[in-house]
């Protein structure tokens, strides 16, 4: 697990509202990858000055021909050649890099998913995810992490957006509102909505944060969890809100002309796309968008 540090986002107005996306379970290089929907969401993030994102893992299938249990030629993207299968790790990293390059300047960090982790372990390629992060110039958050996203309001700021010079922000003693994110690729194989939500609730009960983002189970759901406490003098009751989201996926369970692993198992159709949270720093209002 990583303590992933702070990210500073400078903005000008009290009314500014931001979106932080969890782009997870893309499954590029699969014939069932919903590429048009992924392109749409990447463009939305790129075009919106107040959208930022974390990567949630499983960016590519990473299933090679030597994986006798999972490899199925029917599920390999037409763009992947036989020669590519001989250098699948390299080809996969380059593919993810090229897809995510248009929004790399808005990235708050990339998690590692179980597909990447298993491929790296089996093929002695433990540096593949680190290489991807280096290629994109973003933080490597491992499999799970805490990250603080700090929104800094400066009405006379010459430049708004993600600022990498943290020391300058701290020196200026700016008006800041900080939100702690707990990020995890996700775990478990529950197929029922309740089972998936229970895993999110377990994370929210075990880890201290404001916002929780997980993936893996190829569904979109969320939970708002109010926490009751008292002020610093223990003279007045206070309440703060924790918000958790499970991101969807870009891997279609059912597709014309393709018999996927999910279809063979009888899984429910996937809700395509990503989840995000909306944040208004001035009021500390948070809401989940599914």
Please say whether the beta carbons of 223 and 243 come within 8 A: yes
pLDDT in tens, 35-74: 999 999 999 999 999 999 999 999 999 988 888 788 888 8
* Tokens of residue 73, six digits: 């030629």
Instruction: Give the C-alpha separation, 205 to 191, whole Å.
Output: 21
**Helices H / strands E in the chain, number of each:** 8, 12
Predicted confidence at residue 260, as pLDDT, reads 82
Report DSSP state, residue 19. E
pLDDT in tens, 106-132: 999 999 999 999 999 988 888 999 999
Predicted confidence at residue 181, as pLDDT, reads 98
Nearest to 219 by CA among 241, 242, 243, 200: 200
Instruction: Give the C-alpha separation, 180 to 183, whole Å.
Output: 10
* Tokens of residue 98, six digits: 């090229």
Q: Which of 150-159, 187-196, 210-219 has the lowest mean pLDDT?
A: 187-196
Model confidence at 136, pLDDT cuts 50, 70, 90, reads very high
- How many other C-beta atoms can be found within 10 angstroms of the C-beta atom of residue 84? 17
pLDDT in tens, 15-28: 999 999 999 999 99
Q: At what angle do helices 114-122 and 128-136 cross, to 10 degrees?
A: 120
Write down how long the chain is. 290
Q: What is the dihedral of CA 181, 284, 242, 142, to 10 degrees?
A: 0
Asked whether the predicted pLDDT for residue 171 surpasses 60, the reply is no
Identify the residue with better confidence: 197 or 110. Answer: 110
Helix extents (H) in the chain: 35-47, 82-85, 88-100, 114-122, 128-136, 166-172, 193-206, 261-265
Residue 156's contacts (CB-CB under 8 Å, 6 or more residues apart) are none
Predicted confidence at residue 165, as pLDDT, reads 66
Predicted confidence at residue 173, as pLDDT, reads 60
pLDDT in tens, 227-254: 898 988 999 999 889 999 999 899 999 9
Please say whether the beta carbons of 17 and 278 come within 8 A: yes
Nearest to 56 by CA among 287, 279, 273: 273
Report DSSP state, residue 20. E
**Domains of the chain by range and CATH?**
2-289 (3.60.21.10)
* Tokens of residue 217, six digits: 């189970």
* Burial group, residue 223, by CB count within 10 angstroms (0-12, 13-18, 19+): middle
Q: Which of 17-31, 76-90, 187-201, 244-258 has the lowest mean pLDDT?
A: 187-201
Predicted confidence at residue 169, as pLDDT, reads 65
């Amino acid at each position: 697990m990583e303590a992933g540090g702070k990210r500073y986002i400078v903005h000008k107005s009290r009314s500014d509202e931001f979106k932080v996306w969890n782009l997870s379970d893309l499954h590029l290089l699969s014939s069932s990858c919903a590429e048009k929907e992924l392109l749409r969401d990447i463009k939305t993030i790129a075009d919106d000055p107040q959208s930022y994102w974390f990567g949630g893992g499983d960016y590519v299938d990473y299933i090679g021909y030597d994986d006798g249990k999972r490899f199925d030629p029917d599920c390999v993207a037409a763009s992947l050649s036989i020669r590519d299968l001989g250098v699948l790790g390299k080809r996969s990293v380059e593919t993810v890099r090229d897809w995510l390059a248009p929004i790399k300047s808005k990235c708050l960090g990339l998690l590692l998913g179980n597909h990447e982790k298993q491929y790296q372990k089996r093929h002695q390629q433990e540096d593949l995810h680190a290489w991807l992060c280096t290629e994109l110039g973003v933080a490597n958050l491992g499999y799970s992490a805490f990250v603080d996203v700090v929104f800094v309001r400066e009405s006379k700021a010459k430049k708004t957006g993600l600022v990498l010079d943290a020391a300058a922000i701290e020196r200026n003693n700016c008006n800041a509102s900080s939100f702690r994110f707990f990020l995890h690729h996700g775990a478990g194989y529950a197929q029922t909505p309740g089972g998936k939500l229970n895993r999110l609730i377990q994370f929210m009960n075990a880890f201290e944060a404001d916002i929780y983002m997980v993936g893996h189970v190829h569904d979109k759901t969320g939970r708002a969890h109010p926490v009751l406490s008292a002020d610093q003098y223990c003279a007045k009751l206070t309440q703060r809100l924790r918000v958790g989201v499970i991101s969807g996926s870009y891997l279609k369970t059912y597709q014309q002309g393709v018999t996927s692993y999910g279809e063979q198992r009888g899984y429910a159709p996937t809700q395509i796309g990503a989840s995000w949270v909306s944040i208004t720093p001035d009021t500390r209002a948070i809401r989940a968008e599914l």
